[in-house]
Amino acid sequence: MNSVMQVLRDVLAQLQQVQLGYVLGAILLYSLSLLVWGARWRSILAGLSQRISLWDATAANIGSVVVANLTPTRIGGDVFRLAIARYRGRTEILPTTASLGYDRLGDLVPIILLALLSLPTLQRLAGGGRGRLLLWVGLGLVGLAVVLMLVRRAARLRAWFASLTRLRLPPSTVVRMLAYSFLLWAMDLGRIYLLSASMGVFLSPLDVVPLSVLSVLGGLLSFAGIGIVEGGLAATMVLLGVPLEKAIPIALFERAMFNVYGSLVGGLAVLALGGTSLLGALRRGQTPDGHSLSVPDGAPAEPGTP
């Protein structure tokens, strides 16, 4: 108990020395990344001959995170994005559903590349013998968790795959999508670097990469619960040589960027787009102006809805 209290005192002492300029820089970079995310989805929709404004695309993306967190089984984030595109942009339902699948695929190439770049750092941290064994066990558990996540979202993936096979993006749109995706990941790495710098910790780019991958996997594997991701980030930073009293605030800052700031901005976006009247319509499977959110062939409009 005394050791725990000492760590808490050390953490509080470090928080008093935080450099707010770096924190504000991280918030600005995160805010800009939301615009880039909106621009990517807008570009994908344009490649499918659908039109939506940058504001509506960005607000729909931000709001979808809050809606998914608050009503994971009632509405879901993708239903929210689909409804906003239909309601504000008058898009067609099948191309819009396909755009959601392409938007997810846009992250696949960068995350695979970053995961591969993380391996040398993780092997260095694991060392040899038992450490390397624990590393591979840990990677195996992560792989198992990803498989379980895919099983849970099998219906969603089937709906996306069906729409993607019908509607293909032009090569120029694919190039733009990947460019936006790599820019998003670069901004993600920059945000983690700035949050670390706010505590006087200046990580190398290769050290930031596994932290970014861990943060993203934690967000995807939402069933892990609050505290698991933060603990994993802090533990990894300690292995990288960061003092525990600094690693804990950095991990908390990183998660607060999503859970607090992201939720606040997302809540404002939901209010701006229609608030409770919009959510009420979505629960009925409609847009606020009465359009159905069902795909014409009977497949679910929201991938993952039975």
Give tens-digit pLDDT for 212-235. 887 776 655 554 445 566 777 787
How far is the C-alpha of 163 from the C-alpha of 166, rounded, in Å?
Answer: 5
Ramachandran quadrant class, 129 (left: phi over 0; alpha: psi -120 to 50; beta: rest): left
pLDDT for 306 equals 29
Average pLDDT over residues 163-187: 87
3-state secondary structure of 250: helix
Does the pLDDT at position 210 exceed 60?
yes
Q: Please, where are the H alpha helices in the chain?
A: 2-15, 20-47, 54-70, 77-89, 93-105, 108-126, 130-152, 154-166, 171-197, 205-220, 228-239, 244-256, 263-273, 275-283
pTM: 0.80
How does the average pLDDT of the chain come out, rounded?
78
Q: What angle do CA 90, 50, 174 make, to 5 degrees?
A: 150
Tell whether the model's pLDDT for residue 301 goes beyond 60.
no
Q: Under a CB-based contact definition with an 8 Å cutoff, are residues 303 and 101 in contact?
A: yes
How far is 16 from 12, CA to CA, in rounded Å? Answer: 7
- pLDDT reported for residue 224: 45
32-41, 163-172, 264-273 — which is least confidently predicted?
163-172
pLDDT band of 252, cuts 50, 70, 90: confident
> 45-59, 102-116, 151-165, 166-180 — which is least confidently predicted?
151-165
**Residue 46: its pLDDT value, please?**
94
Residue 305: per-residue pLDDT: 34
Question: pLDDT class for 105, splitting at 50, 70, 90?
Answer: confident
pLDDT of 263 above 70: yes
pLDDT for the residue 136:
60
Across 60-64, 98-102, 145-149, 211-215, least confident range: 145-149
> What does each C-alpha distance from 32 to 145, 192, 283 come to in angstroms?
31, 14, 31
Residue 296 confidence class, pLDDT cut points 50, 70, 90: very low
In this structure, what token pair is assigned to residue 34? Answer: 């939301």
pLDDT at 290 over 70: no
Domain ranges within the chain, ordered by starting residue = 20-283
Confidence of residue 303 (pLDDT cuts 50, 70, 90): very low
CA 8, CA 11: separation in Å to the nearest integer? Answer: 5
Q: Which residue type, as a one-letter code, is found at position 64?
A: S
